[in-house]
Chains A and B, each alone.
Chain A
Protein backbone atom coordinates (compact mmCIF):
# COMPACT_ATOMS: atom_id res chain seq x y z
CA UNK A 1 0.00 0.00 0.00
CA UNK A 2 1.33 3.45 -0.95
CA UNK A 3 2.53 5.71 1.86
CA UNK A 4 0.61 8.94 2.37
CA UNK A 5 1.65 12.12 4.17
CA UNK A 6 -1.14 13.81 6.10
CA UNK A 7 -0.01 17.44 6.08
CA UNK A 8 -3.21 19.17 7.19
CA UNK A 9 -5.81 18.13 9.74
CA UNK A 10 -8.08 20.73 11.33
CA UNK A 11 -11.60 20.76 12.71
CA UNK A 12 -13.80 23.80 12.30
CA UNK A 13 -16.84 24.33 14.51
CA UNK A 14 -19.61 26.10 12.61
CA UNK A 15 -20.60 28.87 12.43
CA UNK A 16 -16.94 29.77 12.50
CA UNK A 17 -16.89 33.23 10.92
CA UNK A 18 -14.73 34.82 8.26
CA UNK A 19 -11.37 34.69 10.04
CA UNK A 20 -11.58 30.98 10.76
CA UNK A 21 -12.63 30.17 7.20
CA UNK A 22 -9.84 32.33 5.81
CA UNK A 23 -7.35 30.64 8.13
CA UNK A 24 -8.28 27.23 6.72
CA UNK A 25 -7.49 28.47 3.21
CA UNK A 26 -4.27 30.25 4.17
CA UNK A 27 -2.90 27.46 6.41
CA UNK A 28 -3.82 24.77 3.90
CA UNK A 29 -1.92 26.61 1.20
CA UNK A 30 1.11 27.20 3.43
CA UNK A 31 1.29 23.59 4.57
CA UNK A 32 0.75 22.22 1.07
CA UNK A 33 3.65 24.29 -0.23
CA UNK A 34 5.70 23.24 2.81
CA UNK A 35 4.95 19.59 2.04
CA UNK A 36 6.28 20.04 -1.48
CA UNK A 37 2.98 20.22 -3.35
CA UNK A 38 3.23 21.91 -6.74
CA UNK A 39 2.16 25.57 -6.41
CA UNK A 40 -0.66 25.35 -8.91
CA UNK A 41 -2.11 22.24 -7.27
CA UNK A 42 -1.77 23.81 -3.82
CA UNK A 43 -3.71 26.88 -4.95
CA UNK A 44 -6.43 24.73 -6.50
CA UNK A 45 -6.84 22.76 -3.31
CA UNK A 46 -6.90 25.85 -1.09
CA UNK A 47 -9.48 27.53 -3.35
CA UNK A 48 -11.68 24.43 -3.39
CA UNK A 49 -11.47 24.08 0.41
CA UNK A 50 -12.43 27.74 0.75
CA UNK A 51 -15.47 27.26 -1.48
CA UNK A 52 -16.62 24.14 0.37
CA UNK A 53 -16.16 25.47 3.89
CA UNK A 54 -17.75 28.81 2.93
CA UNK A 55 -20.73 26.93 1.49
CA UNK A 56 -21.10 25.00 4.72
CA UNK A 57 -21.10 28.27 6.63
CA UNK A 58 -23.64 29.80 4.30
CA UNK A 59 -26.01 26.94 3.54
CA UNK A 60 -25.13 23.88 5.56
CA UNK A 61 -26.44 22.47 8.79
CA UNK A 62 -23.20 20.86 9.97
CA UNK A 63 -21.99 21.62 13.47
CA UNK A 64 -18.43 20.80 12.55
CA UNK A 65 -16.27 19.94 9.60
CA UNK A 66 -12.91 18.17 9.60
CA UNK A 67 -10.55 19.15 6.79
CA UNK A 68 -7.67 16.85 5.94
CA UNK A 69 -5.15 17.00 3.12
CA UNK A 70 -2.99 14.10 2.05
CA UNK A 71 -0.05 13.82 -0.27
CA UNK A 72 0.48 10.24 -1.41
CA UNK A 73 3.91 9.10 -2.44
CA UNK A 74 4.37 8.09 -6.03
CA UNK A 75 1.94 9.04 -8.75
CA UNK A 76 -1.28 9.07 -6.75
CA UNK A 77 -2.98 12.49 -6.76
CA UNK A 78 -3.14 15.08 -4.02
CA UNK A 79 -6.25 14.51 -1.92
CA UNK A 80 -8.55 16.73 0.10
CA UNK A 81 -10.93 15.04 2.51
CA UNK A 82 -13.80 16.75 4.32
CA UNK A 83 -15.88 15.03 6.92
CA UNK A 84 -18.90 16.67 8.57
CA UNK A 85 -22.07 15.86 10.47
CA UNK A 86 -24.48 17.57 8.08
CA UNK A 87 -27.54 15.90 6.62
CA UNK A 88 -25.59 15.82 3.36
CA UNK A 89 -25.39 18.11 0.36
CA UNK A 90 -25.03 16.29 -2.95
CA UNK A 91 -21.81 17.88 -4.16
CA UNK A 92 -21.32 15.30 -6.91
CA UNK A 93 -24.62 16.24 -8.54
CA UNK A 94 -24.18 19.98 -7.94
CA UNK A 95 -20.77 20.07 -9.61
CA UNK A 96 -21.94 17.86 -12.49
CA UNK A 97 -24.77 20.32 -13.18
CA UNK A 98 -22.61 23.43 -12.78
CA UNK A 99 -22.25 25.78 -15.72
CA UNK A 100 -19.50 28.21 -16.70
CA UNK A 101 -19.97 31.88 -15.87
CA UNK A 102 -22.16 33.93 -18.18
CA UNK A 103 -22.36 37.27 -16.38
CA UNK A 104 -26.13 37.06 -15.90
CA UNK A 105 -26.12 35.18 -12.63
CA UNK A 106 -23.94 35.63 -9.58
CA UNK A 107 -24.61 32.36 -7.80
CA UNK A 108 -23.33 28.82 -8.20
CA UNK A 109 -19.97 29.65 -9.66
CA UNK A 110 -18.20 27.88 -6.81
CA UNK A 111 -19.52 24.53 -8.04
CA UNK A 112 -18.07 25.26 -11.48
CA UNK A 113 -14.73 26.17 -9.93
CA UNK A 114 -14.68 22.91 -7.95
CA UNK A 115 -15.50 20.92 -11.07
CA UNK A 116 -12.73 22.60 -13.03
CA UNK A 117 -10.15 22.23 -10.26
CA UNK A 118 -10.63 18.58 -9.39
CA UNK A 119 -9.69 15.37 -11.11
CA UNK A 120 -12.28 13.35 -9.21
CA UNK A 121 -14.85 13.85 -6.49
CA UNK A 122 -16.82 11.35 -4.47
CA UNK A 123 -19.03 11.38 -1.39
CA UNK A 124 -20.06 8.70 1.03
CA UNK A 125 -21.85 8.26 4.32
CA UNK A 126 -19.68 6.79 7.03
CA UNK A 127 -20.83 4.13 9.48
CA UNK A 128 -21.33 6.94 12.01
CA UNK A 129 -23.71 8.76 9.66
CA UNK A 130 -21.21 11.47 8.76
CA UNK A 131 -20.73 12.83 5.25
CA UNK A 132 -17.27 12.28 3.79
CA UNK A 133 -16.22 14.13 0.66
CA UNK A 134 -13.01 13.14 -1.09
CA UNK A 135 -11.56 15.29 -3.83
CA UNK A 136 -8.49 14.52 -5.91
CA UNK A 137 -6.40 17.07 -7.78
Chain B
Protein backbone atom coordinates (compact mmCIF):
# COMPACT_ATOMS: atom_id res chain seq x y z
CA UNK B 1 0.00 0.00 0.00
CA UNK B 2 1.16 3.55 -0.59
CA UNK B 3 2.47 5.25 2.53
CA UNK B 4 -0.32 7.81 2.48
CA UNK B 5 -3.86 7.01 1.52
CA UNK B 6 -6.69 9.21 0.41
CA UNK B 7 -10.05 8.60 -1.12
CA UNK B 8 -9.97 10.29 -4.48
CA UNK B 9 -13.44 9.09 -5.36
CA UNK B 10 -16.92 9.09 -3.92
CA UNK B 11 -19.88 6.92 -4.78
CA UNK B 12 -23.63 6.73 -4.43
CA UNK B 13 -25.70 3.57 -4.43
CA UNK B 14 -29.18 2.95 -5.85
CA UNK B 15 -31.19 -0.24 -5.81
CA UNK B 16 -32.66 -1.37 -9.14
CA UNK B 17 -34.73 -4.45 -8.22
CA UNK B 18 -36.47 -4.48 -11.62
CA UNK B 19 -33.24 -5.74 -13.16
CA UNK B 20 -31.71 -7.34 -10.10
CA UNK B 21 -28.94 -4.77 -9.95
CA UNK B 22 -27.17 -2.36 -7.68
CA UNK B 23 -26.46 0.91 -9.48
CA UNK B 24 -23.22 2.55 -8.36
CA UNK B 25 -22.37 6.07 -9.44
CA UNK B 26 -18.64 6.74 -9.11
CA UNK B 27 -17.10 10.19 -9.04
CA UNK B 28 -13.44 11.21 -9.02
CA UNK B 29 -10.32 9.16 -9.69
CA UNK B 30 -9.55 5.54 -8.97
CA UNK B 31 -5.79 5.27 -8.66
CA UNK B 32 -3.08 3.46 -6.74
CA UNK B 33 -4.15 5.26 -3.58
CA UNK B 34 -7.85 4.49 -3.76
CA UNK B 35 -8.33 1.19 -5.58
CA UNK B 36 -8.40 -0.82 -2.35
CA UNK B 37 -11.25 1.35 -1.10
CA UNK B 38 -13.14 0.68 -4.33
CA UNK B 39 -12.52 -3.04 -3.94
CA UNK B 40 -13.94 -2.95 -0.41
CA UNK B 41 -16.97 -0.91 -1.46
CA UNK B 42 -17.82 -3.25 -4.34
CA UNK B 43 -17.43 -6.32 -2.14
CA UNK B 44 -19.69 -4.86 0.55
CA UNK B 45 -22.32 -3.95 -2.04
CA UNK B 46 -22.07 -7.38 -3.61
CA UNK B 47 -22.42 -9.06 -0.21
CA UNK B 48 -25.52 -7.00 0.61
CA UNK B 49 -23.89 -5.12 3.47
CA UNK B 50 -24.93 -1.71 2.15
CA UNK B 51 -28.41 -2.59 0.88
CA UNK B 52 -30.21 -5.42 -0.85
CA UNK B 53 -27.87 -8.09 -2.24
CA UNK B 54 -28.16 -8.08 -6.04
CA UNK B 55 -26.33 -10.33 -8.43
CA UNK B 56 -25.79 -7.60 -11.02
CA UNK B 57 -23.93 -4.29 -10.90
CA UNK B 58 -24.43 -1.23 -13.04
CA UNK B 59 -21.61 1.28 -12.75
CA UNK B 60 -22.00 4.88 -13.85
CA UNK B 61 -18.60 6.14 -15.01
CA UNK B 62 -19.73 9.58 -16.21
CA UNK B 63 -17.91 11.46 -13.45
CA UNK B 64 -14.80 9.29 -13.29
CA UNK B 65 -11.87 11.50 -14.22
CA UNK B 66 -9.25 8.79 -14.33
CA UNK B 67 -9.00 5.08 -13.70
CA UNK B 68 -5.53 3.55 -13.33
CA UNK B 69 -4.71 -0.08 -14.03
CA UNK B 70 -5.24 -0.87 -10.34
CA UNK B 71 -8.81 0.44 -10.61
CA UNK B 72 -9.52 -1.56 -13.76
CA UNK B 73 -8.12 -4.66 -12.02
CA UNK B 74 -10.65 -4.25 -9.24
CA UNK B 75 -13.48 -3.96 -11.75
CA UNK B 76 -12.30 -7.00 -13.73
CA UNK B 77 -12.03 -9.04 -10.53
CA UNK B 78 -15.46 -8.00 -9.28
CA UNK B 79 -16.97 -8.69 -12.68
CA UNK B 80 -15.51 -12.21 -12.62
CA UNK B 81 -16.88 -12.77 -9.11
CA UNK B 82 -20.35 -11.68 -10.22
CA UNK B 83 -20.14 -13.99 -13.21
CA UNK B 84 -19.40 -16.91 -10.87
CA UNK B 85 -22.68 -16.08 -9.13
CA UNK B 86 -24.55 -15.91 -12.47
CA UNK B 87 -24.49 -12.13 -12.30
CA UNK B 88 -22.84 -9.48 -14.44
CA UNK B 89 -21.31 -6.05 -14.41
CA UNK B 90 -22.13 -3.34 -16.94
CA UNK B 91 -20.34 0.02 -17.12
CA UNK B 92 -21.90 2.99 -18.85
CA UNK B 93 -21.04 6.57 -19.78
CA UNK B 94 -17.32 5.80 -19.74
CA UNK B 95 -15.75 9.10 -20.69
CA UNK B 96 -12.92 9.34 -23.18
CA UNK B 97 -10.49 10.40 -20.45
CA UNK B 98 -11.34 7.31 -18.37
CA UNK B 99 -11.34 4.89 -21.27
CA UNK B 100 -7.79 5.65 -22.44
CA UNK B 101 -6.25 3.25 -19.92
CA UNK B 102 -8.89 0.62 -20.65
CA UNK B 103 -8.08 0.77 -24.35
CA UNK B 104 -4.42 0.07 -23.52
CA UNK B 105 -5.20 -3.06 -21.55
CA UNK B 106 -6.09 -5.08 -24.65
CA UNK B 107 -7.85 -8.02 -23.08
CA UNK B 108 -7.85 -11.46 -24.70
CA UNK B 109 -11.55 -11.64 -23.90
CA UNK B 110 -13.84 -8.88 -22.63
CA UNK B 111 -13.96 -9.00 -18.85
CA UNK B 112 -16.75 -6.51 -18.48
CA UNK B 113 -19.42 -5.01 -20.63
CA UNK B 114 -19.28 -1.32 -21.52
CA UNK B 115 -22.35 0.37 -23.02
CA UNK B 116 -23.07 3.93 -24.06
CA UNK B 117 -25.48 5.21 -21.45
CA UNK B 118 -27.76 4.39 -18.54
CA UNK B 119 -30.74 3.51 -20.73
CA UNK B 120 -28.63 1.02 -22.65
CA UNK B 121 -27.29 -0.45 -19.41
CA UNK B 122 -30.78 -0.91 -17.96
CA UNK B 123 -32.00 -2.44 -21.20
CA UNK B 124 -29.03 -4.76 -21.23
CA UNK B 125 -29.82 -5.95 -17.70
CA UNK B 126 -33.53 -6.29 -18.40
CA UNK B 127 -32.80 -8.46 -21.44
CA UNK B 128 -30.58 -10.74 -19.36
CA UNK B 129 -33.05 -11.01 -16.44
Which residues in A have their C-beta under 8 angstroms from that of B39? 106
Chain A: how many interface residues by the 8 Å CB criterion? 31
Once A21-B33, A101-B107, A101-B111 are accepted as A-B contacts, the answer to whether A15 and B4 lie under 8 Å apart by CB is: yes
**A20 — nearest CB in chain B belongs to which residue?**
B4
Would you give the 0/1 interface string for A84-119, flagging 1 where the beta carbon is closer than 8 Å to chain B? 000000000000000011111111011011001100
Would you give the 0/1 interface string for B58-80, flagging 1 where the beta carbon is closer than 8 Å to chain A? 00000000101110111011011
Q: Is B119 in contact with chain A by the CB < 8 A criterion?
A: no
Would you give the 0/1 interface string for B76-102, flagging 1 where the beta carbon is closer than 8 Å to chain A? 110110010000000000000100110
Given contacts A100-B105, A105-B77, A112-B105, 16 further A-B contacts (CB under 8 A): A18-B4, A18-B33, A21-B33, A44-B104, A47-B68, A47-B104, A102-B76, A102-B108, A103-B79, A103-B80, A103-B83, A106-B73, A109-B69, A110-B68, A112-B69, A113-B69
Query: What residues of chain B have their CB less than 8 Å away from a CB belonging to chain A?
Result: 1-6, 8, 29, 31-34, 39, 66, 68-70, 72-74, 76-77, 79-80, 83, 97, 100-101, 104-108, 111
Query: What residues of chain A have their CB less than 8 Å away from a CB belonging to chain B?
Result: 15, 17-19, 21-22, 25, 40, 43-44, 47, 50-51, 54-55, 57-58, 100-107, 109-110, 112-113, 116-117
